[in-house]
Structure 1
Amino acid sequence: MKNIVILISGGGSNMAAIVKTAQQEQWAQRHGACVAAVVSNKADAQGLGFAREHGIATAVLDHKAFASREAFDAELAAVIDAHQPALVVLAGFMRILTPGFVAHYAGRLVNIHPSLLPAFTGLHTHQRAIDAGCKFAGVTVHQVTAELDVGPILDQAVVPVLPGDTAETLAARVLTQEHVIYPRAVRALVQKLPVA
């Protein structure tokens, strides 16, 4: 089985979209792939409840309990590796990962970013798109590299920026597309990956 481990920090709506799509499209039977575990750095992350309800293993690793990013990432990798992941999916995991962690999962670590990369890397993407006068915004699924939000692009969706949009209204419109393209990109990856 090609195991997928998803990392979250909050509500986990993208994780939920991937889990639902995997079940609806029978990834286990069709592609030999399943979401094996959901890991969070926050014990109160709402997405953990969804994962448990769907019979998915969960783990919590509080980054505040570690003296350094490197120490946290080393333990995080140990937790992930216990599930023999073919793919590690960042779904609202609000931690900047160390180069060593990224290198450990090179080629099998993916992220979703709420802009049309390479535009608007980092935070506050929707407000920045509005402030720049963009007519379009969107979302990008990309492979993770040591440099923030610049890895190879796997999938994108375009969303119009409407007159009167706020960061919140634009974010909500982008989120609906995130829930479409992230499962699609993950499915395309697991179809290509060897069994771990």
Structure 2
Amino acid sequence: MYDHTRPQPGPHHAPGPYPPQAPAPHPPQSASPYGPPAPYAPPGPHPPQFPGQYAPQPPPPPRIPESAGDLRRAGAILIDGLCVAFVLGVVVIGARVTTHLEFPKDWLAMAGCGLGLSFLNHVVLTRLIGASVGKYICRARVVLEKTGTRPRLPRLFKRWLAGFGFLLVWLIASVFNLEDDPDDLCGVRMVALRDMRALGLTGA
């Protein structure tokens, strides 16, 4: 039976081909954090540095022992004097026996011999072992005040020349207990050997 309510297919209801559709544009994507690395750029100029910001610090000054005590100094002076006197006595007696020197030649020979022995003891020997005979026996050494090393010959020679007047001033100051008791001169200091070893100094 024919149904009038149901639409019948006709020419205007025939399916036809679909029209072509353009692809929808994709939204822009943000850059991935794991994308390719940025190209290498050469480093720019360093920022200005403040004065002393990265400057190397100077090494700490060496620790120098205090000057030797008066008792050790007096002992070294006494031993040095006895050694020179003994050698002078032997030389003078031998010179009188062999050459028959008369006054004042014998005194001049004694003075020259004494100066020569003092120079060898306080300059040459001190340069070699760091002390004279008396200082070595009293376990004392002679070092530079600033570095703690062994003085060289020019400084020791100046100290030897100035030592004649220095010895007199030091003896007077020690006897009368003066407040301005002079210290060692020419930048040279007499120190105890045990104090040097306690600070790790060799005096070389």
Normalised by the size of structure 1, how large is the TM-score? 0.26
Structure number with larger C-alpha Rg? 2
Structure number with the higher strand fraction is 1
Normalised by the size of structure 2, how large is the TM-score? 0.25
Structure number with the higher helix fraction is 2
